[in-house]
Structure 1
């Protein structure tokens, strides 16, 4: 069907996908009176994974809430906010927990790590996506979005003057712009042939996952001495049970007394080249087959029962040659995906919406949808995919040797506190000025998508990690030699925050208290590279480091 140009399309924006990405963007747009239609083939409430949040995720939601005046997004930044406004079905997340396993053996207490980034104001959690996604869906409707559930897109047109989508019955809607937030089976990616070849990405993994009841907390199944236990119980965080080129996850929704949800999200993600599908096995049989290889993991899931059908995937990784075009955008998981390790999915979503929404507002206002206007969004999304591909690929390589993993883990952790301080500083300035140019200046970056996108010293360290892990994988060095060199570079790098133990290879548990935070603040204000000093946070007493008030924090030009 040729493009039929009308005087006024049905909508300003059509969004494909009523998951978190689509509904958050819909609420942001409709809050400013943009005419939005959200379309989804499914119906809420619906199952979704991607339940584990990070401080970075929450800072992204806070930025969206304040920048675009959608206060409901602030509820996602604390357990109390979610409990009071969404429902008692999510869990708490007080740490990232990592435990390495070897076949047939009990886990070694020296081969574990726990990381708990400090925050008083925000509380990371395990979001029961069925409820949080429905809440966000209803929020988008409240602000004015129209919705069509159970609408399967069978045809779409991306014209010069408008876009349109239609279902098999021929019902059609038109708009000025189309956002595809649907995921892997993106209609826009299919229509335009946008998926890159599989060898565009380094990492390989497939996944089995479901929700279960009766999952035992890791703390209850371990045969370790009390002195081997971390400062926070394992059950109070996102648990990663790692083994050679794979990991099990356990994300409890029932780990807080006020939660009424007995479920635990469980899954297995592993390299499909080393672990091809087992012929004749159901997904659950395959999951239990691999869990039985590791005694402690087997005990975690021994009495667990599934409450919904298992999902079994092929290779998870995909990316796109292009994520923006004339009057269209592939957003977040429609653009690409790597692996759930490190809980990057929701974080990337908030970052992309922040970069995309203000550009779309201006395009609609000026009626100018030139692709160059959205070029940064494309650069950002490709950078996020590329960085996560390198980070996860290095981690899977390192799972075969604890010392190498211990170093790779620290490269990841080295970004977790600074990136959140970066958000704090810009949010501080925005609260003072209410000037959106503050947030726009966050995009003036040398390395969009990198975990610390404005820090050259961290970029050097990250590149060293990638080189050393790939040298080990290709047999050009040993795991021990790669681990020693990477740890040495961590200890010498100017881009690694001091004061919380990142440079100490023996420190398995990172739970910064007031003394560590004071040391960190002193280092940031007195010894850090010049480009990092603006990150200096309020100290433990509540005053700002170096006697600087929030209004005196200098945002780099």
Structure 2
């Protein structure tokens, strides 16, 4: 294989491998996607990974924004294989019939020894015409992307254990435990928590730099019952979409269970369900005297409906049990190197942000790296936005998830925090649509580069000062609850009032009605929302419909109402 040492059978001295333009550590979704993009553009890429494919991975739940980012990557860089990830049909036909569908985010709050209260059921279904979110069976999707990267020309080494990285002024190099050394012009570390660059440069922040606290245990199981069969409620409390057809979050004070089925669509032949438990390690210290499965089942038994969910479930692979899973880095870019996605930091799987963040970071890094290679200029400043984006993604996700964990103790507060999260989901997708439409119509890549110009990179709605104010109000009241300065019920009442009155909360979606349990906008609701936004909504968000951005710059030709709806 090109790039590997060569020699004859007589044991002559090995020749040094030819340098690559870019060396990528890690061949998961992040590394393989970036590798495929770069190789398609003629870049010499070496993918190094300590493991082998196929392999188990978590981060299986997608969002509508995830799909839109990967669809854009496919079209921006001419890698159509990436678009297969954006639909359940594409995954089934192009990858494998092993992934599930995801038609909603489902949230049910539980208290010990009690049946859940149907009045506290919450479900959010993101409106979409063309794209359908899914549950990715990562063994298959990651291997597919890895093989895609190879087909586009990436050289690869699996089961390669990194011993050292060399970050010099004029080159980078990676040395393995077996002494093999590979040299390149730029090094991307997409290897996750055990990042060799972060370790070598001492980049990890101290634990107290992050507010959120949680540890986690997870596996795949057979025989997990659908949530719909485990609830003792009448048909009047059934959501518009069956619970089993989405990502289920079973919440309790300072923790949550997930249930992510791969067997919830007729096109899947995979009987497995991804399950996990994430909880605040300060309230629930780890018990090292019992196995992770014993601990998981003991927690599940505390909540009657959750206990029924897993009563007959059988584990099919070893459990993973991790201590506190939050980490971050003081910086994520430097001269000739970048920590990408989970190598830079991680918070919690709540809200399924992992794959979305990965796509955003790849999108912001790829074009800069292509320019740097073409100009042979790897000055750290040209990659500054990538660091700013990753720091923002970590910060705002830390605050959002921490507020959520604080709020799980009381439905009124959780209901308000949930609505602050929901309030970003339609605007961020509409914003993305406006820019990608203009790019599609013009073919001008500068349109997408302009999309990065926002005052709050990493915020769920990065260009909205109104949403930033709402988000900050949420953080303020939840911190007060966390410090014991006010009750959760009192804070919930205040925050709900703030949500109802916030101009940036889109009308006609049900978000302003605290009694609306199931956010499932129909076409007529979306048309009314578009009309409201065009004529009555806040100026800073009007461009989502009118096609003129918040600074008065022209966006695509003004769309009609139907075109402006989420799609």
Shorter-chain TM-score range: over 0.9
Compute the TM-score of the two structures, normalised by the length of structure 2.
0.94
Structure-2 separation of matches of 1:497 and 1:265: 33
Structure 1 residue matching 2:221: 3-state secondary structure: strand
Residue 537 of structure 1: CA displacement? 8.4
Structure-2 separation of matches of 1:7 and 1:111: 63
Note the 1:27-426 alignment, pairs <5 A: 27-426=36-435
Structure-2 separation of matches of 1:9 and 1:346: 33
CA contact (8 A) 1:472 1:479 kept: yes
Structure-2 separation of matches of 1:164 and 1:524: 53
Structure-2 separation of matches of 1:278 and 1:156: 37
Q: Which moved more, 1:67-76 or 1:232-241?
A: 67-76
Q: Are residues 1:446 and 2:432 paired?
A: no
Deviation digits for residues 276-319 of structure 1 (CA, Å, limit 9, x no counterpart): 11131000000001000000000000010011000000100000
Structure-2 separation of matches of 1:26 and 1:96: 31
Structure-1 separation of matches of 2:320 and 2:350: 17
Give the counterpart of 2:559 among 543, 549, 557: 549
Q: Are residues 1:516 and 2:541 paired?
A: no
Structure-2 separation of matches of 1:550 and 1:328: 44
Residue 530 of structure 1: CA displacement? 1.6
The residue aligned with 1:3 is none
Structure-2 separation of matches of 1:110 and 1:489: 21
CA contact (8 A) 2:88 2:134 kept: yes
Q: Which moved more, 1:7-16 or 1:275-284?
A: 7-16
Structure-1 separation of matches of 2:459 and 2:276: 27
CA contact (8 A) 1:213 1:264 kept: yes
CA RMSD of aligned residues (A): 1.7
5+ long unaligned stretches in structure 2: 1-14, 548-555
Q: Which moved more, 1:442-451 or 1:525-534?
A: 525-534
Structure 1 residue matching 2:118: 3-state secondary structure: coil
The residue aligned with 2:503 is 494
The residue aligned with 1:541 is none
CA contact (8 A) 1:16 1:40 kept: yes
CA contact (8 A) 1:428 1:550 kept: no
Structure-2 separation of matches of 1:547 and 1:172: 53
The residue aligned with 1:474 is 483
Residue 177 of structure 1: CA displacement? 0.3
Structure 2 residue matching 1:235: 3-state secondary structure: helix
Residue 547 of structure 1: CA displacement? 9.9
The residue aligned with 1:456 is 465
CA contact (8 A) 2:546 2:559 kept: no
Structure-2 separation of matches of 1:242 and 1:549: 40
Compute the TM-score of the two structures, normalised by the length of structure 1.
0.95
Structure 1 residue matching 2:507: 3-state secondary structure: coil
Structure-2 separation of matches of 1:547 and 1:32: 31
Q: Which moved more, 1:407-416 or 1:493-502?
A: 493-502
Residue 7 of structure 1: CA displacement? 12
Please identify runs of 4+ aligned residues in structure 1 that moved more than 3 A. 6-9, 546-551
5+ long unaligned stretches in structure 1: 1-5, 539-545
Structure-1 separation of matches of 2:94 and 2:470: 42
CA contact (8 A) 1:9 1:176 kept: no
